[in-house]
Amino acid sequence: MSNTIPVYNDFGDTIMARQRPRIAIVARFAESTSVTRYEGIVTARRLAEAVWAAGGEPLTFLAVEGSDWSERLKGIDGVLMPGGADIDPRNYGQEPQSSELYGIDPMQDSVDISLVRHVIANGIPLLAICRGLQITNVALGGTLTQHMDNPHLHHVAPVTVESHANELGLSHPTVAASCYHHQAIDELADGLTVIARATEGHIEAVKIDSTAWAFGVQWHPEDNYDTEGGQLEIFERFVRAAS
């Protein structure tokens, strides 16, 4: 597989080849994996494959506290904040109140928050997915519902993007959203604009105030990117913004 992608003119002729935009994805920590003897760092395979299918080069970044993001992101064209475990409620001024909280890692939270703030402040294209959307809201001063009354686990339902659908990349504003989350945005942070909600009312997508292309979705577009055209369109629009 080539690390370049063809560029076509209006007649379908190849006019040049360009490097795939380099997309940084912060790794998630795993207690064990089937191919490592010890703890691992992971990126969801389908997430990386969706970025590749959209024309990007997915690169897994180790979460390191105190990172100099200006240095580490040299040569990086876009940042994808992926799904993952729960965020420590202390990051948004609350004590843990639910026995359903899982996988909290203070270092992961700290790294994610610092990266989100750097990316937005420096106008780097950003796509935030599930936990990525939640950590973006927290990083900008918002809060979360620690445990939803009706969690969306293995939940697929239509979601209509009410505004900015074209900018998000969608040729049709309604997509089949594949969700796996038990938390959701509660108090919306300044700098985020709601562009889609679930039928139950919680926030499903936002536009992020940035000089670059920046959006967040609560669902997992990688789950069905290869069968639901709209999901791949989101990745393609992100990669184009990063090119």
Digit-by-digit pLDDT tens for the chain (243 residues) are: 556 655 544 555 554 467 999 999 999 998 888 888 889 999 999 999 999 999 999 999 999 999 999 999 999 999 999 999 999 999 999 999 999 999 999 999 999 999 999 999 999 999 999 999 999 999 999 999 999 999 999 999 999 999 999 999 999 999 999 999 999 999 999 999 999 999 999 999 999 999 999 999 999 999 999 999 899 999 999 999 999
Q: Is 100 a catalytic residue?
A: no
What top-level class would CATH report for the domain 16-242? alpha beta
Options 130, 179, 181, 182, the catalytic residue: 130
Q: Tell me the whole-structure pTM to 2 decimals.
A: 0.92
Q: Domain coordinates of the chain in residue numbers?
A: 16-242
Catalytic entry in 181, 220, 233, 236: 220
179: annotated active-site residue: no
Q: Which of 118, 179, 181, 222 is catalytic?
A: 222
Active site residue 220: yes
Q: Are 26 and 112 in contact (CB under 8 A)?
A: yes
